[in-house]
Structure 1
């Protein structure tokens, strides 16, 4: 039996730093607070891709052209594929993309979720898929492909803020999966497919939908304290609260809460729906603190993600796919960083099974 593990070596990255003790997220030297107020998703892609790919003359135009290129694959969506959950259908269409490592491949992989998720949702509703408009910003065009109408400025800004907020977040399960595959020198599509397969697991990317289930179950703000108390008494987990890294409030929660409030002010969210969410949040935080004083359980990114994506017209079964729209930029950057600067990832295991019986 092996005596033990070798010393753990942390992966070195220039891409993002998640400070769980202080509730801070840094992407390439820029805090999340600054990113969400000054940068578009295209800007963040440029930040993440710097040094790994040649800089395009104009990221918005290059990404628009990539959306047009990947839209041709929508014709491969046969009835069996359309019947799949959106994230599974998207994964099948993603597998059609070439497994290269250049900028064109990277941009098509970034474009793919934004094209495939709206197309699959429309096809599932017996509506035709809508071709991209390469002149639009990425978030605005995603919403136009979903609804068939030009989004309001507030709607486009809200989705853009979401994509920026979730673009990268350290060495989470899906990003680690991307880096493992990239370390074998497989191409970017292989790395993204591995990451997407990890993301679809309910312990990673599947929690925003159940947040809406919780809002529906509570119904009105006055019912929040009793409903939450009953859930906690049964030992149930409250979705949208707690994080394995953050010991304080998830900074992404506040970035998205401000976007939700912006949507509410524009009339895109029913004020009663937001009031219900805020009542649940207040009651949940108070009861979690009282019941588990030694365990920090604060609002996480999933809580206000649910309200934001619901308000923008995405059904809850598509939330994981929308998460992938933002995180794919980080996956690609990490895959390139691993391929260029890292080694083959081969963790050591500790055998705890039986030993062979010695001959008598």
Structure 2
């Protein structure tokens, strides 16, 4: 009877141990499954595709140039007597900049005028005699030719005197003053006395690659960025009809308004030329794209938090944004961070839906 009782106790102990072991195994299996689920749900960041404005543009650099500038030289020979402007002064067309010694030109003009006055009196007297047929037509005509020739000489003397006054040929600013009081100026030496530049309107010359020529049009807008300044608007006003064979580029000129004269010739600018603008394009951040063999793909998140890889076709591209021509719909949720660890049908945990 003792043996039977001991056997019952041993069997009960075995059953209890088995039950405990089974419970532990089930608990361990449940914990493992929970951990497996956490690993599968990969954390990602996403955005929603949206409609917005994007432009087709080309970026390059340029140096500002004055639209009009002039080296002022003297057409007369003489010594500089007066200088009326300095560097940085604004000048207008015709404004007096400097004066040369003009005593010799003044004497020459006075002589020619006196001779013209004498000949004018003689011509008047001869005309009366000609009307009365007291002199021949040949004599009268020769005197008229002499009078006309002397009138031209007076005009030349007046011009020579006028040329001793150095005047501004354009509106602008005195960039350099080379002339000095007492300096001998030789009209045959073509020496520069002043350098004038027009700051009211500047130009920026850019060289467009040949493949961009089809999109470039006169009248298109551009944005110029200078160091430490707010962006400045410009307009494409001229496109060369010739492609430079050595560089494969086309010369294009931008007009830059400078009414406040904050910009100066020679300043360096970053240029963004806008070829076309779309106001209702389907947009996506560039960071969402994955490129493989020239094919662009993205991961799209469905309602069950699973992703699928889709191929997209791109249109215009901006700094951080691209236009989607096909492959996505408006409002779809697209992964922008964490996509390197994803594959089709992967379960994701969307940590953040960012705005762009």
TM-score bucket (shorter structure): under 0.3
The structure whose residues are more often helix, as a share, is 1
With normalisation by structure 1, the TM-score equals: 0.20
With normalisation by structure 2, the TM-score equals: 0.20
